[in-house]
């Protein structure tokens, strides 16, 4: 770790994004004082409002500008007046690809006091991490139409898997499992090798080869459909899951529900390479109907700050935030749903700061 201030780009975005980001930054400030590190924030106004005003999602040069930062802290994108897909593709996916954030890291952790829809399951049972490949598979945007808008229309949407792409993701997941060092110390590959006999065969062969470098990590395989059943029936089975892009998208939303909903779930789009720029976000979206009411849950956005600090080498600060969140969910908040927390957005932020 150098002593230079951490450079963080803040993309608060749309809807409730700015409200939850404000609480995350409040916690960042407080924890930086306790752990004596410094940082610099730079705001960017990318999102739906700017798009409506200017007609562009990311202006020319924006990606190269963002590349200079250590991390990006993203609130939410999504605007009721912007057609679905424009901001998602033009901002979120664009940044993932351009900044080569090839890992999507999604901890699925039930905090104390948080209600899970799974009867009888406790924080001891729901505590695993999904490592989703974030730049390939069905998300690569390779496809097109023939005879569009005719009865003979053909559409193709190609999944692309590369040896390099799956290997770097699988290797990251093995390293992560080793470092996490849970008693299970098990990495589960989740794919569909019985049907996707080319792409997921590449994943399986790569998984088996990379596993040889990690004899201390137990390896395991689930088909994605079976994984959905096990996540609900026996979430305690899992330690770390590694999976291609689209399956990762689906099972992480299932995971978000298990851990108490989108108000709690945070994720990282990580480029773990030297000098890479990673982006952290609450999973909740822009929630337009709750905007400006001080009712949205900031816990996920605060947890995203924790992940950002962990990735930046500030593990003690990250741990402090996680412990504080657990104390607030466990002893203060009534619910994790917007408007039912027993506190407002700002008050929940204050509680986390107090608990630091």
- Residue 189 CB, shortest distance to Mn ion, in Å, is 20
Written as six digits, the tokens of 79 are 């605007």
Residue nearest to ligand IPM (CB): 88
Give the 3-state secondary structure of residue 340. coil
Decide whether 249 or 281 has the Cβ nearer to Mn ion.
249
Of 38-46, 88-96, 146-154, 180-188, the window that binds ligand IPM (rule: CB under 6 A) is 88-96
CA angle in degrees (0–180, nearest 5) for 121-127-128:
130
Does 93 sit near ligand IPM (CB under 6 A)?
yes
**Residue numbers 118-137 binding ligand IPM by CB under 6 A:** none
The residue from 35, 49, 65, 88 that contacts ligand IPM (CB under 6 A) is 88
Q: Which residues bind Mn ion (CB under 5 A)?
A: 249
- Give the DSSP H/E element, type plus range, for residue 188: strand 186-191
Binding flags for ligand IPM, 197-236, as an x/- string (CB under 6 A) = ----------------------------------------
Residue 208 phi, psi (nearest 5): -65, -35
CA–CA gap between residue 356 and residue 350 (Å, rounded): 10
Residue from 9, 11, 25, 92 touching ligand IPM (CB under 6 A): that is 92
- The residue (of 250 and 316) whose beta carbon lies closer to ligand IPM is 250
Among 102, 96, 93, 92, CA closest to 14: 92
Contact present, 92 and 312 (Cβ < 8 Å): no
CA 180 to each of CA 128, 238, 301: distance values in angstroms, whole numbers, following the listed order = 10, 13, 22
The crossing angle, in degrees rounded to 10, of helices 345-355 and 315-331 is: 120
Minimum Å distance from CB 262 to Mn ion? 10
As a whole number of angstroms, the distance between CA 328 and CA 352 comes to 6
> Using CB distances below 5 to 8 A depending on partner kind, what does residue 241 bind out of Mn ion, ligand IPM, none?
none
Of the listed pieces 6-14, 32-40, 85-93, 225-233, which binds ligand IPM according to CB under 6 A? 85-93
Q: How far is the CB of 71 from Mn ion (least distance, A)?
A: 20
Q: Does 14 bind ligand IPM (CB under 6 A)?
A: no
Residue 88 interface partner, choices ligand IPM, Mn ion, none, CB cut-off 5-8 Å depending on type: ligand IPM
Q: Is 23 in the site for ligand IPM (CB under 6 A)?
A: no
Candidate residues 14, 136, 249, 310; the one interacting with ligand IPM per rule CB under 6 A: 249
Spatial neighbors of 173 by CB under 8 A, at least 6 apart, are 131, 187, 240, 242
Query: Binding-site residue total for ligand IPM (CB under 6 A)?
Result: 4
Question: Rounded to whole angstroms, what are the CA distances from 136 to 56, 102, 106, 174?
Answer: 25, 8, 17, 19
Q: Which range in 86-94, 270-278, 313-321, 322-330 contacts ligand IPM by CB under 6 A?
A: 86-94
CA dihedral sign, ordered 211, 212, 214, 217: positive
| List of residues contacting ligand IPM (CB under 6 A) | 88, 92-93, 249
């Amino acid at each position: 770790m150098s002593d230079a201030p951490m450079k963080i780009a803040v993309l608060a975005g749309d809807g409730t994004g700015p409200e939850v980001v404000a609480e995350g930054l409040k916690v960042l400030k407080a924890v930086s004082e306790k752990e004596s590190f410094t940082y610099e924030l730079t705001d960017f106004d990318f999102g739906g409002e700017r798009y409506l005003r200017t007609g562009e999602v990311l202006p020319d040069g924006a990606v190269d500008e963002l590349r200079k930062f250590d991390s990006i802290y993203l609130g939410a994108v999504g605007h009721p007046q912007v057609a679905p897909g424009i901001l998602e593709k033009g901002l979120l996916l664009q940044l993932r690809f351009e900044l080569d954030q090839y890992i999507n890291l999604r901890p699925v952790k039930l905090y104390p006091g948080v209600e899970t829809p799974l009867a009888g399951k406790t924080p001891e049972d729901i505590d695993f991490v999904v490592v989703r490949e974030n730049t390939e598979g069905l998300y690569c945007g390779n496809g097109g139409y023939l005879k569009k808008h005719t009865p003979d229309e053909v559409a193709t949407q190609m999944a692309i898997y590369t040896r390099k792409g799956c290997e770097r993701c699988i290797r990251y997941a093995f390293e992560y499992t080793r470092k996490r060092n849970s008693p299970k110390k098990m990495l589960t590959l989740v794919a569909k090798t019985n049907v996707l006999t080319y792409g997921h065969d590449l994943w399986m062969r790569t998984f088996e080869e990379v596993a040889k470098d990690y004899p201390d990590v137990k390896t395991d395989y689930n088909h994605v459909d079976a994984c959905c059943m096990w996540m609900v029936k026996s979430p305690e089975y899992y330690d770390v899951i590694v999976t291609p892009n689209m399956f990762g998208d689906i099972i992480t939303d299932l995971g978000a529900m298990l851990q108490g909903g989108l108000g709690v779930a945070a994720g990282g789009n990580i480029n773990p390479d030297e000098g890479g720029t990673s982006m952290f976000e609450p999973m909740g979206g822009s929630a337009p109907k709750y905007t400006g009411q001080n009712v949205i849950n900031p816990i996920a956005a605060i947890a995203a700050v924790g992940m950002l600090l962990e990735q930046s080498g500030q593990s003690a600060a990250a741990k402090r935030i996680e412990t504080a969140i657990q104390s607030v969910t466990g002893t203060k908040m009534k619910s994790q749903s917007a408007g039912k927390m027993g506190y407002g957005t700002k008050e929940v932020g204050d509680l986390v700061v107090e608990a630091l």
